[in-house]
Amino acid sequence: MKVLVTGAGGQLGSEIRFISGEFKDLEFSFVDKNAVDICDFEAVQKALQGYDALINCAAYTAVDKAQSEEDKAFEINEKGALNLAKACEKFGVKLVHISTDYVFDGRAYQPMLENTPTAPLGVYGQSKLAGEKAILSQNLAHSCIIRTSWLWSEFGANFVKTIARLTKERNEISVVSDQIGSPTNARDLARTICTILSKLSDIKGVEIFHYANVGVASWYDFAYEIVRLLEHTYPTISCKVRAIKSSEYKTAAMRPFYSVLDTDKIKAYFGIEIPHWRDSLAKANLKNLIDFDKINA
């Protein structure tokens, strides 16, 4: 199966590239925004010809910045998704599109199902939801939308790497404790996506699935575990993690207070197992999260 991955320079795209050698039956090509502008339909059509499947990791993901760049967010997350869906329909290509927990408002305080009513709180979530609807408006087959949450990786910018950097720079950090979700390792998600590609033929149209690592945490819990692992690995690191309320940490975009996704559907549909977030974090290569040499200098 020939697979094109868009957004190859981001966290998930980088992880798919990293583990691609594990899947001998899949022939991958990776393109970033410089190689293929998903907002350009002609460019998308040209890039997609000859492929059997498309994994779309391309997205505008700057949650706070989206509040002041609404047009750009919708251009990429809605129009870009629509262009990809149209091209996939035209050439008979299977589509795996990545979406987000931010399509929900998180006010129910129970794990969100795929059919839980959506109500995004900010522009980012609104634009990603618009992208989902754009894909569902097309006559696609053997395709899916995967919503995920609190994605982190050894590649790119993310919460884990930010906390690692701050831990090295400060003796104390403050992290919100009243936002709850499921930290998700992009490598775990990447392996799941590559595993299910061969099973997409069982899907008649477009299915929505949720994928997140097992277990729940607040951002404070997540940060505390990151710091604990770093302190255990690097004895010269010592940093206190202080819990604060969201009201003490102002952001341009409102976040859901509860972002836990119910993953029963994807586990049952494809027969997959999902690791606990703590286990995935413990297996991470900490040297890729922080400048090892400077710590030991």
Domains and their CATH numbers in the chain: 2-158+183-215+255-275 (3.40.50.720)
Q: What percent of the chain has pLDDT over 70?
A: 97
Query: What pLDDT, on a 0 to 100 scale, did the predictor assign at position 295?
Result: 46
Per-residue pLDDT at 296: 45
Instruction: Name which of 4, 161, 164 is nearest 95 in CA terms.
Output: 4
**55-113 residue pLDDT tens:** 999 999 999 999 999 999 999 999 999 999 999 999 999 999 999 999 999 998 899 99
Distances (CA, A) of 252 to 67, 159, 219: 7, 17, 18
Catalytic residue among 51, 102, 124, 258: 124
For the residues 108-121, what does the mean pLDDT come to?
A: 95
β-strands 172-176, 151-152 pairing: unpaired
Beta pairing partners, 218 = 180
pLDDT at 155: 92
pTM of the entire predicted model: 0.95
| 124 flagged as catalytic | yes
290 falls in which pLDDT band (50, 70, 90)? low
